[in-house]
Chains A and B, each alone.
Chain A
């Protein structure tokens, strides 16, 4: 049906309309190479060479972050003596994710993920995680405070 013949749309609640993403900019991921704060409808920076798509970047970031989180969780479970509070573990993973983001490694991971498909990407992350945990297993756990000498 041509647009002109369409029935008029039902009026939208003004308060709901105020939440239209077009009326609330700046809440979306920036496009690769775009300035911070630009919505994801924006194009890539001129001259950028085939940047990874936002979806690929998001997937790569998520999988990488989960991999990091899994490594830290596995090590903590292996060595309860470390006894990290859960929040510390989570924040460590967040921090590691932030470092990856700062150096734009997510973009690199995203390209890798696009070239090698998600399955291979996940297997790669899992394999790297396994290697780290195996290495951690071979390392003696740190000891808590050493026993204090007896008082004279």
Chain B
């Protein structure tokens, strides 16, 4: 099932280095049944989830060859920031055109800056649902995502952030005190979803060499926050 009934699914995973973003993404990939995955894999962390594509040509040809069928492709973008940003725009447009795909973008702080994001990314976020595109976006800098992204996000997960400005941005979206974000231990997270009016706290544990999610507690959102 790749269509996912056209439900919006934009998952934001934020946190500093070592806070557990990659582990959270791995849990999501392990659970995904969509069958079509495009990974923006800067560090080559997700090669067990997709065929490594070191050039755009390789990615494009493999995706087209799959047609409407399943594929899992991990694109290794350029290390050069300017080239990487241009590639990310192309990558997002490709995902949009392909449709019915889970797009996983890690280390997006390298390609999205405050006040500017590639047109392809904006298209993916605002209109991707109509084409069955689901998104998992991970970054170390929540402050660089625009309001449109936060308005569209269906699940927001925050790990530890070291900087106050970043923590304040994330705390505002999660509706928790920013000090809670700074104080999170490694691999612990706070999550809010549009589907339930609760704040969930949990952590990533490793069992049999695999990351798994453990929910520690749930707290009802204040009624004012629930609107």
Contacts and interface: CB of A to CB of B under 8 A. Distances in A.
Interface string B52-83: 00111100100010010000000010111101
Nearest to A60: B79
A77 B182 CA distance: 12
Given A15-B97, A16-B98, A40-B55, A85 B17 contact: no
A87 to B, nearest CB: 6
Nearest to B76: A58
A104 interface: no
A86 B163 contact: yes
Interface in A62-77: 62, 65-66, 69-70, 73, 76-77
A110 B80 CA distance: 15
B60 A85 contact: no
Interface stretch (A24-32, A124-132, A133-141): A24-32
B93 interface: yes
A58 B16 CA distance: 23
A20 B162 CA distance: 40
A13 interface: yes
Given A21-B60, A29-B78, A55 B67 contact: no
A94 interface: yes
B223 to A, nearest CB: 33
A28 B97 CA distance: 20
Given A13-B97, A27-B56, A66-B43, A94 B83 contact: no
A54 B55 CA distance: 10
Interface string A3-34: 00000001011011001111010111100000
A80 B48 CA distance: 36
Interface residues of A, number: 37
Nearest to A13: B97
B166 interface: yes
B143 interface: yes
A85 B86 contact: no
A52 interface: no
Contact of A85 (B54, B144, B165): B165
A19 B93 contact: yes
A90 interface: yes
Contacts of B109: 90
Interface residues of B, number: 36
Nearest to A62: B79
Contact of B141 (A29, A84, A86): A86
A52 B90 CA distance: 27
B218 interface: no
Contacts of B163: 84-87
Contacts of A70: 17
Contacts of A61: 79
B54 A55 contact: yes
A99 interface: no
B22 interface: no
A94 B163 CA distance: 17
B65 to A, nearest CB: 10
Given A27-B56, A69-B17, A85-B165, A19 B90 contact: yes
Contacts of B56: 21, 24, 27-28
Interface of B: 16-17, 42-44, 54-57, 60, 64, 67, 76, 78-81, 83, 86-87, 90, 93-94, 97-98, 109, 140-141, 143-144, 161-166
Q: Top 5 A-B pairs ranked by shortest CB distance?
A: A86-B163, A21-B56, A85-B163, A61-B79, A16-B97
